[in-house]
Structure 1
Amino acid sequence: MTVESGTQNVGAQPSRAEARDGFDEITVLWISEGMSCDGDTVSFTAAGQPAVEDLVQGLIPGLPKVNLHNKVLSPSLGGEEFLAPFRAAVRGEMAPFILVIEGSIPNQNIIEGDGYWTSFGNDPETGEPLPLNWWIDRLAPRAWAVVAVGTCATFGGIHAMAGNPTGSMGLADYLGWDFRSQGALPVVNVPGCPIQPENFMETLVWVLYHAAGAAPPPPLDPMLRPQWLFGKTVHEGCDRAAYYEQADFAKDYNSPKCQVKVGCWGPVVNCNVPKHGWMSGIGGCPNVGGVCIGCTMPGFPDAFMPFMDEPAGGSLSATLIRPYGALIRRLRGITNVALNREPKWHHNEPELTSGYDPYWRP
């Protein structure tokens, strides 16, 4: 079946889905041969809402049938058997498909064809390894949607930090931020180091509902991240945020209080981990005493190092809030003491002293 492609309104709220035909079946081609540790694939397998098993078994109402090709989850023996659907897509023999890229994209131009930074399969004619860039150049223009999974693929991540010799970058940097897929979608960026499992699954499911003709395009922020997942800061969803308001800061990592002064960047980082947790709603950096190091942000890691030092501006904001926080903490403490007393009429004496006085009593 065919899909009438709509335009993607980046940064806007989704409008009502237009009535249109959708796909009954779609293939997900997942390449994790970018500059990466494969941690996003491993994390993705922990998703539970929905689980990858629910997705591929067709247990989610309204979604097209999904054929997933990921090297970790593939039942094939690998080699050419695993590569077959990818080669078919390059030849234009597979449509529609969603291309998922894991890992940052190295710059092949800086080595002028002399070798490769990372590869995926071999050229059947020459036997030489095929660089990741070769696959992206041929698959991305044919893909109905292109999704970058993890911070390396979205913004370059650790492999793209200052001083790296590979010229690594994010997928949108490589394809262009004005790139549009066959489904008229820009690159969909789902950052995280590694990806938070449910964040990726929610995004993929939304894209699949869009492919089925049952939903509008996913709303994305200016950095092409899903807006409903990355529209708030870590601090806004953090259980420790009230301590910041009261200027009650942790001095070490064993404290349950706000960790801004021991290196947490939560007040300025777009991420929902405090709300979502990590697996089954449990865990997540600040939830378990870890500082936020900004791994979902385009400037990661350079802009957030050294990780355990107090963030730039943290000292000023903490100083400004200290008088207010101290006063509020003291006043709340007084009120707390008052409210932790039982009413005086709670006693076992013969006289009722609660003030009970029904109007009908003569």
Structure 2
Amino acid sequence: MTVSPLVWTLTLVAILALLAFDYFFHVRAAHVPTLREAAIWSSLYVGIALLFGVGTLIFGGVTMGSEYFAGYITEKALSVDNLFVFLIIMTSFRVPREDQQKVLLFGIVFSLIARTGFIFLGSALINTFAWVFYLFGLILLITAGNMLKPETEESHSAQNIMVRLSRRLFHTTDYYDGDKLFTIQDGRRAMTPMLLVMVAIGGTDILFALDSIPAIFGLTQNVFVVFTATAFSLLGLRQLYFLLDGLLDRLIYLSFGLAAILAFIGTKLILHALHENNLPFINDGEHVEVAEISTGLSLTVILGVLLVTVLASLFSTRGRTQTAMANVRRDAIAYLDSEYTEDEAERERIFRRLEESRDHIISLGPKAKQIVKNEPELMELCARVVESRSASTSSSAKGSSLDGS
């Protein structure tokens, strides 16, 4: 189906309006979003994406609508996996909690721009060279294999090549100046870590696009569907980050599910490439008669795999324990960092979560304890937080007593 320029224009205006609304009404004034705020706005953005899909189904037909939903669900799942990397980057750069929204929104805007470029480049290549389907399929199969490798925080270093290059070429500071990208240090203009973390997320997102764009082209070659499914999967990602805070580590089987989905789509692409084959060294340049995978089957497989892997993660003892371990380390470091946040409600929230995670680790049985390799270190972190909190409380009490006298 050919989409008219008017529909393209209205869609682009709506997406830009949503991004502008997000910035001026939520991100411009630095604050820590509450769980309720994140849940409401995340639900709203998902609702908008689903309504758009229903409209595509009605006006574009069953095939176009099914392709949109398959693409949207796949891209959304890949985006959730990417949030874990964003979390590591912001933790590495010690981004103040109040300013994390701005960093995430930048990441979304940069991602949208970069992926739009990849989408039109991919479309041009597909329309010119049928063998590109082989290449896309191979990329997805390799990516699926890489996802099966064990991942740690060290495997997602925030100090990527763009950050190292920026530090080498420009004068940079080690401290934040609010949400400013540049500041004055010793009379010289210098880049702040706020700009560096944006560079890190932008550079990382280019790598993400190399996986996600071939994946969605494996489900549809309709550029309008590819663009809108990608765009709507990114909108609301900022709110989803705060909504899933503390649960990202719990999705321990998500990478396996995504690996299965990418391998499935990669196989679908290669089958399609064989069907459209014109390479002389394959079947003498003739088409190969193979069964192709329908969009309906793709949508069913994607939903089924995600449902199984998410439920398996949520009900897994290993998942709960791994989440507790990650929360203890991350929350302790954040609580002990005086520059992490000035919001007392946020400090109280991470302290309570730290307590819950500590109690979970302590209550584990002998078999589950084997998962926790560094329990003494984690308990020491907890003790330091409790000591810091007690000292702060005593200091506040003394201050109040002096004020009263």
What range describes the TM-score normalised by the shorter chain of this pair?
A: under 0.3
Q: Which has the higher strand share?
A: 1
TM-score, normalization: structure 2? Answer: 0.21
Q: Please identify the structure whose Cα radius of gyration is greater.
A: 1
TM-score, normalization: structure 1? Answer: 0.23
**Which structure has more RCO (C-alpha within 8 Å, separation ≥ 6)?**
2
Q: Which has the higher helix share?
A: 2
